[in-house]
Amino acid sequence: KDKYPLYEALKTVLPDEEKQRAITFINHLMDYLEKSGLLFEKWQLQRDVRRKVKSETRLLLLSEYREHRNKIDELTEQLFGAMEEMK
């Protein structure tokens, strides 16, 4: 899957973020969600799965971007929105 929209979403909220750190985080997030069995075809249609994807994304953001605590909600929304658009 193309992860570029996720990278763009992260950079929208944190424009000064180091490119490699952002890419590493996006790869980790997607691997984690896929291994957790949350990113299957049409996952976006299941409310419980959507909620779980959003909460897991938020938890990973909190652990990786503690210094941007005030932007975690915005980051979560941007990344989740980008994931929803992915097929």
Predicted structure pTM score = 0.93
Mind listing the pLDDT tens digit of every residue in the chain (87 residues)?
Answer: 689 999 999 999 999 999 999 999 999 999 999 999 999 999 999 999 999 999 999 999 999 999 999 999 999 999 999 999 986
Report yes or no: 53 and 38 within 8 Å, Cβ to Cβ. yes
Q: What is the pLDDT of residue 2?
A: 86
Q: State how far the Cα of 46 lies from the Cα of 61, in Å rounded to an integer.
A: 23
- Work out how many domains the chain is built from and give that number: 1
Domain of residue 72 covers 4-85
Q: What is the pLDDT of residue 86?
A: 85
Q: State how far the Cα of 65 lies from the Cα of 51, in Å rounded to an integer.
A: 21
Report yes or no: 68 and 14 within 8 Å, Cβ to Cβ. yes
Angle at 41 between CA 8 and CA 87, to 5 degrees: 35
Q: What is the pLDDT of residue 1?
A: 60
